[in-house]
Amino acid sequence: MFNLMKMFNECKHEKVSYLVKSSYCPDCGAYIENKFYLVRCSCCNIKRKGLLRGEEIIAEDTFCHNCGSNRFYIEELPSPTIFDMEYMVIKKEAKVLAKRHPTCQIWVETPQIIKPKMLTLND
Ligand SMILES: [Zn+2]
Ligand SMILES: [Zn+2]
Average pLDDT over residues 111-122: 58
8 pLDDT more than 80 = no
Cα–Cα distance measured from residue 18 to residue 56, given in angstroms and rounded to the nearest whole number: 18
Say which residue, 109 or 63, is predicted with more confidence. Answer: 63
* Distance from residue 101's CA to the centre of ligand 1 (Å): 16
Q: What is the pLDDT of residues 18-61, one digit of tens each?
A: 888 899 999 999 999 999 999 999 999 999 999 999 889 999 99
The pLDDT value given to residue 76: 95
CA nearest neighbour of 56 among 27, 99, 89 = 89
* Distance from residue 70's CA to the centre of ligand 2 (Å): 8
Residues 6+ apart with CB under 8 A from 99: 29, 105
Q: Which bound ligand lies closest to the C-alpha atom of 32?
A: 1
Q: What is the pLDDT of residues 83-108, one digit of tens each?
A: 888 899 999 988 865 455 455 444 45
| CA atoms within 13 A of residue 38's CA, in its CB half-sphere | 20
* Distance from residue 83's CA to the centre of ligand 2 (Å): 19
* Distance from residue 50's CA to the centre of ligand 1 (Å): 23
Say which residue, 72 or 122, is predicted with more confidence. Answer: 72
For residue 7, what pLDDT band results from cuts at 50, 70 and 90?
very low
The pLDDT value given to residue 57: 95
* Distance from residue 68's CA to the centre of ligand 2 (Å): 6
Q: Which bound ligand lies closest to the C-alpha atom of 71?
A: 2
Domain ranges in the chain are 4-98
The pLDDT value given to residue 88: 92
* Distance from residue 45's CA to the centre of ligand 1 (Å): 34
Average pLDDT over residues 6-17: 77
* Distance from residue 79's CA to the centre of ligand 2 (Å): 24
